Amino acid sequence: MAKAPEYKLEDLLTLMARLRDPKDGCPWDLKQSWETIVPHTLEEAYEVADCIERGDLDHLKEELGDLLFQVVYYARFGEEEQRFDFHQVVDELTRKLLRRHPHVFPEGHLQSRAGDQVKSEAEVKNTWEAIKAEERKEKQAAVSALDGVPSNLPAVTRALKLQKRAARVGFDWGKAIQVLDKLEEELAEIREALASGDQAAVVDEVGDFIFASVNLARHLKVDPETAVRSTNRKFERRFREVEALSAAAGQMLTEERQSNPATRVPLQTLEGYWQEAKRKESRNAPVT
């Protein structure tokens, strides 16, 4: 039987208060601010995602704790500035979720029962988005469909969110094949920019190509950020195998060796190792 937890949420909040105590707190924690904690928050969120995508659920509890600590940190800043505290964060979140789930909580409180009001997933999503849109209208008089998409999101994630917002008001391709045509158009424009020698135009057209690629992923119901992270892991796995195969042939891949024409391992040879790495993965793939 699992051991009962020794500490509760209130203990964590007390710990945070002690760390930020002006007299007896931790010097490092006392130096932190809203801005300095942001990079840590992003890092912890990605570590949670990494654990899940690698199937490392044994360490997920620890990573979730680290992410929760970031929320506790911001709540402490809010309390110190007499803006809000952790309990108010929880209260506002709960109220918002009750409001956005009328199919589960029709009376707007935890004790209510949905009965036969539970809808299909598509209906739930439409209701959710309609309620969010109404909330945005209440916050400001003039509203763009793109308002509220954070500017500091990873670029691919933000591109996806912007496209989804535009699609909800009808600005969208009808079929994935149309996005493929757009990709080919953007690729041709990259070629033109390269031929012109205009580096600023190259940057602009490459950005358009990546944005269109995100759009294609959306139409194919593929999360682009997840797909690219998966490809990153695949590339890293295969390239490490290329390094191992090259080392086994007595040709260590180093910057110094590869910068010298006399010792450089030819790209053709490296491509052969890459293909061997792919074949090895295929042979080792589990049979389903």
Instruction: Give 273-283 pLDDT, tens digit per residue.
Output: 999 999 998 88
Question: Which range among 43-57, 171-185, 211-225 shows the weakest confidence by mean pLDDT?
Answer: 43-57
| pLDDT higher than 60, residue 287 | no
Between CA 277 and CA 125 the distance in angstroms is 42
What's residue 116's pLDDT? 52
| pLDDT higher than 60, residue 56 | yes
Q: What is the mean pLDDT of residues 64-75?
A: 97
Tens of pLDDT, residue by residue over 216-269, are 999 999 999 889 989 999 999 999 999 999 999 999 999 999 999 999 999 999
What's residue 122's pLDDT? 67
pLDDT band at 154 (very low <50, low <70, confident <90, very high): confident
Between CA 156 and CA 223 the distance in angstroms is 10
Q: Is 128 exposed, middle or buried (0-12, 13-18, 19+ CB in 10 A)?
A: middle
Classify domain 9-100 by CATH number. Answer: 1.10.287.1080
pLDDT band at 117 (very low <50, low <70, confident <90, very high): low
Nearest to 96 by CA among 64, 67, 136: 136
What's residue 144's pLDDT? 85
Calculate the average pLDDT of the chain: 89
Cβ atoms of 18 and 24 within 8 Å: the answer is yes
What's residue 138's pLDDT? 62
CA distances for 219 relative to 178, 182, 212, 229, 231, angstroms: 10, 13, 11, 19, 19
pLDDT band at 125 (very low <50, low <70, confident <90, very high): low
pLDDT band at 140 (very low <50, low <70, confident <90, very high): low
What's residue 149's pLDDT? 87
SS3 of the chain: CCCCCCCCHHHHHHHHHHHCCCCCCCHHHHHCCHHHHHHHHHHHHHHHHHHHHCCCCCCHHHHHHHHHHHHHHHHHHHHHCCCCCHHHHHHHHHHHHHHHCCCCCCCCCCCCCCHHHCCCHHHHHHHHHHHHHHHHHHHCCCCCCCCCCCCCCCHHHHHHHHHHHHHHCCCCCCCHHHHHHHHHHHHHHHHHHHHHCCHHHHHHHHHHHHHHHHHHHHHCCCCHHHHHHHHHHHHHHHHHHHHHHHHHCCCCCCHHHHCCCCCCCCHHHHHHHHHHHHHHHHHHCCCC
Tens of pLDDT, residue by residue over 13-33, are 999 999 999 999 999 999 999
What's residue 152's pLDDT? 80
| pLDDT higher than 60, residue 118 | no
pLDDT band at 105 (very low <50, low <70, confident <90, very high): confident
Cβ atoms of 119 and 127 within 8 Å: the answer is yes
What's residue 241's pLDDT? 96
Q: Show contacts of 149-158: CB within 8 Å, 24+ apart.
A: 154/225, 155/210, 156/210, 156/214, 156/224, 156/225, 156/228, 157/224, 157/225
pLDDT band at 110 (very low <50, low <70, confident <90, very high): confident
Whether the pTM exceeds 0.85: the reply is no
Q: Taking the CA atoms of 252, 253, 255 and 257 in sequence, report the sign of the dihedral they define.
A: positive
pLDDT band at 53 (very low <50, low <70, confident <90, very high): confident
pLDDT band at 135 (very low <50, low <70, confident <90, very high): low
Cβ atoms of 178 and 166 within 8 Å: the answer is no
Q: What is the mean pLDDT of residues 59-70?
A: 96
What's residue 41's pLDDT? 93
Q: Residues for the chain: how many in total?
A: 288
